[in-house]
Structures are given as C-alpha cells and as structure tokens.
Chains A and B, each alone.
Chain A
Amino acid sequence: EDKVVQSPLSLVVHEGDTVTLNCSYEVTNFRSLLWYKQEKKAPTFLFMLTSSGIEKKSGRLSSILDKKELFSILNITATQTGDSAVYLCAVERSNDYKLSFGAGTTVTVRA
C-alpha cells in the first residue's frame, strides 16, 4: 500500500521566516510527486515533480525531489500571512493516475 508521510504536522512562524516542509513516500511504480496548497476547501496546484534534483520555483516557493531517498521538500521564503494554509503532498503511480495524499502540514504565519 502507498505511504505518504508529511512532517511536521503543523508549525507556526512569523512573517518573514522561511519554512521547510517535508514529504517522504513509499510507492510502487512512482511517476510523480505533487504539492498542493489548501485554504478552506479547494487544493490549489503548486508543483509537479518527476525528476530528481531539479528544483522547481514559483515566486517565494520552491520544491525539489530526491528519488533515491524517496522524499521531497517544499520551501517558502519570506513568509506572509497569506501563506497560512494546509500544504498537501501527493504521489502518483505510473500504472494508474489516482493521487495518494499525505495528511498535510498546517502552516500558520503570524503578523
């Protein structure tokens, strides 16, 4: 059975801090790892990672995948209160297209 474990479960930071979120996985026939941001209800797509060692960046967010050690990290620099959300990590297998999600990391950014 696929396993996706996110850490920490939650964290509280102050505006301007940098946060690093972790996602480790065990999955057969790995195809990709995805990060989503969830505020209220709809998860919003952030990144899809398929190759090891290639950093993806979008503004203050970046992410990288390590397929040898089976983990990914999501970094948020210069955090703002609008970054407060649950960040979800999911993995996808190559023989089907359903996503297996971790439980998420709740990030709270205080002004």
Chain B
Amino acid sequence: GAGVSQTPSNKVTEKGKYVELRCDPISGHTALYWYRQSLGQGPEFLIYFQGTGAADDSGLPNDRFFAVRPEGSVSTLKIQRTERGDSAVYLCASSLNPTYEQYFGPGTRLTVT
C-alpha cells in the first residue's frame, strides 16, 4: 500500500480487557513509531522501533503497555487491563530511516467503557 495503515480504525472495549492495535508501515521504512493523542492535544510519543528492536520505549506510560515488531515490518501495540484513561487515538508513523520525516497512519480510536 501507499501509506501507513492501522487496524482496527475504531475499538470499543470494556475496562479490564486486553487489546491489540496493529500498524503496517510504508514498505521499506525501517523506523516505526507509536504515539497517543487525546482530544485537543498533540500526539505524545510512546515507543520507537528501528528494525525489530525497540530503540526507545520511554514514552510507554506503564507496564500495561507493550509493543512488538518481530519481523521489522508490522507492529502491534498491546494494552493489558485497559482503563478508561487509556481512551485516545493511537497513531502509528514510519520513516525511511530515523533521520527522515515521519508519515502517519489514520490511527485507531480506542474507547474504554
């Protein structure tokens, strides 16, 4: 595909449940980033992958959040024991390499009820 894709586009879950959000980066992009955006705010960094490894996970809010990128392409953001405060739009971005501009996907809107 031409751009970054994310699935699902919307996810509604109950408090305490586990969710997985998927990101397909632009083909050939080695760097992949996850951000979280709350209403009325700019995106906030969560984690960055270079290849298969998490180069920087300093933005993950707590140990309920985890992300993987096992083959250096698709990434999955996993949230355990969801809380209402996790409700936000989760954005994924990729870049050719870390020094290039980041291109964003359409995001997944997560609602925890």
Name the CB-closest residue of B to A9.
Answer: B40
Could you say which of A48, A97, A101 contacts B98, with CB atoms under 8 Å apart?
A97
Q: Are B48 and A36 in contact (CB under 8 A)?
A: no
Q: Are B44 and A101 in contact (CB under 8 A)?
A: yes
User: Shortest beta-carbon distance, B45 to chain A, in Å?
Assistant: 4
User: Shortest beta-carbon distance, A99 to chain B, in Å?
Assistant: 7
Q: Are B43 and A99 in contact (CB under 8 A)?
A: yes
Over the window 14-54 of chain B, the binary record of Cβ atoms lying under 8 Å from chain A Cβ atoms (1 yes, 0 no) is 00000000000000000101010000111111001000000
Q: How large is the interface on A (under 10, 10 to 19, 20 to 34, 35 or more residues)?
A: 20 to 34
Q: Are B89 and A41 in contact (CB under 8 A)?
A: yes
A8 to B56, CA, bound (A): 32
Could you say which of A42, A98, A103 contacts B41, with CB atoms under 8 Å apart?
A103
B residues less than 8 Å from A102 (CB atoms): 42
A102 to B43, CA, bound (A): 8
B residues less than 8 Å from A41 (CB atoms): 89, 91, 106-107, 109
A residues less than 8 Å from B42 (CB atoms): 4, 88, 90, 101-104
User: Shortest beta-carbon distance, A14 to chain B, in Å?
Assistant: 25
Could you say which of B59, B103, B106 contacts A98, with CB atoms under 8 Å apart?
B59
B residues less than 8 Å from A40 (CB atoms): 106
User: Shortest beta-carbon distance, A24 to chain B, in Å?
Assistant: 14
B residues less than 8 Å from A52 (CB atoms): none
Please report B residues at the A interface, Cβ cutoff 8 Å.
4, 31, 33, 35, 40-45, 48, 55-56, 58-59, 89, 91, 95, 98-99, 101-107, 109
CB<8 Å pairs between A and B, sample of 20: A36-B104, A41-B106, A42-B105, A43-B43, A43-B91, A44-B104, A45-B102, A48-B101, A88-B43, A96-B56, A97-B48, A97-B95, A97-B98, A99-B35, A101-B43, A102-B42, A103-B40, A103-B42, A104-B41, A104-B42
